[in-house]
Amino acid sequence: MPLLVALIVLALVFDFLNGLHDSSNIVATIISSRALPPRWALIGTAIAEFVGPFLFGVAVAKTIGSEIVPPHTITTSVVFAALLSAIVWDALTWYLGIPCSSSHALVGGILGAVAVFACPIPGTAAYAWLPAALDPGSGYALGSLVVNLCRQKWGRQ
């Protein structure tokens, strides 16, 4: 019973940090463009976030729960470690002012915990590890290319 209570507390802390990180990303454009007042932007976002899974399904959750790692590797230890690592990462990036996705932190926590506790067959989660390794470099390269093209086109330094 104490372990269940600890898992519920960790899940609630993670959900709080997820809302803290991700809600601002969702409403930033709406509020900064003054398309809606902040209160209405947040209310609309909250309703959309709640209704979304009912209208569009839970394909991402199913993929994470069954395809990224084998379902038999998800144990209490894995869930505990994944939540704890995602919470630590979210808190650290929030403190340092670094943008971060709580969902990606949780998926990374699951991958890391399964690798430590369950030692899955290499390649089981290859399609999740490879993009995670390649995305930052490819994003930087593409962003640099676009900035340089804009500078050439409009002549600004």
Calpha distance 122→29 (Å, rounded): 41
Same-domain pairing of 129 and 71: no
Same-domain pairing of 131 and 117: no
Same-domain pairing of 118 and 147: no
Query: What is the total count of domains within the chain?
Result: 2
Host domain of residue 40: 2-123
Same-domain pairing of 68 and 130: no
The pTM of this model reads 0.68
- 98 — phi, psi (to 5°)? -95, 130
Nearest to 128 by CA among 144, 108, 106: 108
Q: What is the pLDDT of residue 115?
A: 80
Does position 67 have pLDDT exceeding 80, yes or no? no
- 92 — phi, psi (to 5°)? -65, -45
Q: What is the pLDDT of residue 8?
A: 93
Q: Report the residue count for the chain.
A: 157
Burial of 105 from C-beta contacts in 10 A (0-12 / 13-18 / 19+): buried
Burial of 87 from C-beta contacts in 10 A (0-12 / 13-18 / 19+): buried
pLDDT one-digit tens code per residue, 101-150: 888 888 888 888 888 877 655 555 556 666 667 777 788 888 888 888 88
Same-domain pairing of 81 and 146: no
